[in-house]
Amino acid sequence: MVILRCRFLTVNLAPLRPSHFQSHKLLHTTRFFRTPNLISTPRITTSSSLPTSRSISDEARFARSVLFIPPGVEIEELTDDMVLPGSNIVIGPFAGHSQIKQVEFVKSSARARDCPKDDLPEIAILGRSNVGKSSLINCLVRKKEVALTSKKPGKTQLINHFLVNKSWYIVDLPGYGFAKVSEAAKTDWSAFTKGYFLNRDTLVCVLLLIDASVPPQKIDLDCANWLGRNNVPMTFVFTKCDKMKAAKGKRPDENIKAFQQIIRENFKQHPPWILTSSVSGLGRDELLLHMSQLRNYWDQ
């Protein structure tokens, strides 16, 4: 058992018991970075970028099977302080400027082919209709009502592009789940969202939002499995982690552990994950830093 610099979550690597989601076991091999458009990628030296004052600890050695190790980081050079708090994400030499100074809405698109065509990198945000997607976007940019926030789930019905620092996009995708719309509309949303994932060359990564205040949901696992099967890079972003005292059912930290156990049954390598709260700001700066290394590697 090892604690990955996380105030809430303990990762238990003991043998897992079969779950009721066992039928979804696909053992995906998923890319967590989009490969840059290069013929070949040179070997990256990290001696000048990474701390070398401490050798890798016993805990880090034990945890390396569940850590997200980005390009440019050798496991022998890994130290505890390279792991972002509240996550399994190691920060490497591609992490850079992560502050958001300017954000502007560009357009809404009903089809992937109608999205902006300026070849800027994009990070898409996806989740169930009430997962807190709009609240997280507003938290990241530190502006209220940049993304529509409503008490009625499912208000986002188009692919919405927000230009950040005039250099990259946050893409707000329609929520899936129990939005109060017709079945035909739900089908259409699913079709054009999947078309976006499969055909958008500028997509760097999908942030798949998971509500930590409820037990693992089949619809979230189905979405993760679909992304895995189609080799779409993703990061799990657990939302509502400030709600650590559950009025009913299990606590969020128990829900997160249960979700991760299922993911380890489905994926050969655990995707990156991070804990967040739009209320307290937990994980905001760490998530932005992770997003910066994803973009910078894609854009090299």
Tens-digit pLDDT profile for residues 206-238: 999 999 999 999 999 999 999 999 999 999 999
CA dihedral sign, ordered 17, 21, 25, 30:
negative
pLDDT at residue 116 tops 60: yes
On the question of pLDDT at 66 being above 90, the answer is no
Hey, is 140 helix, strand or coil?
helix
Model confidence at 118, in pLDDT bands (50, 70, 90)? Answer: very high
In the numeric block, which tokens belong to residue 214? 């409820």
**List of residues 6+ apart from 267 with CB closer than 8 A:** 27, 28, 29, 30, 228
pLDDT in the model for residue 290: 97
Strand partners, 145: none
Strand partners, 239: 211
Nearest to 80 by CA among 9, 4, 12, 2: 4
Q: What is the dihedral of CA 109, 113, 196, 87, to 10 degrees?
A: -70
- Please tell me whether the overall predicted TM-score, pTM, comes out greater than 0.85 for this model: no
User: What is the DSSP-derived secondary structure letter of residue 283?
Assistant: T
pLDDT of residue 183: 59
Q: Quick check: 297 and 95 in contact, CB under 8 A?
A: no
* Mean pLDDT, residues 119-128: 96
Pairing assessment for the beta strands 203-211 and 234-239 based on DSSP bridges: parallel
Beta carbons within 10 angstroms of residue 230's beta carbon = 12
Output Rg (C-alpha) for the chain, integer angstroms: 19
What is the pLDDT at residue 94?
95
Strand partners, 206: 124, 234
DSSP assignment of 220-251: HHHHHHHHHHTT--EEEEEE-TT--S-SSS--
Tens digit of each residue's pLDDT (9 = 90 or more) over 28-62: 544 555 544 332 222 222 233 334 444 455 655 55
Give 59 or 239, the one with higher predicted confidence: 239
DSSP 28: B
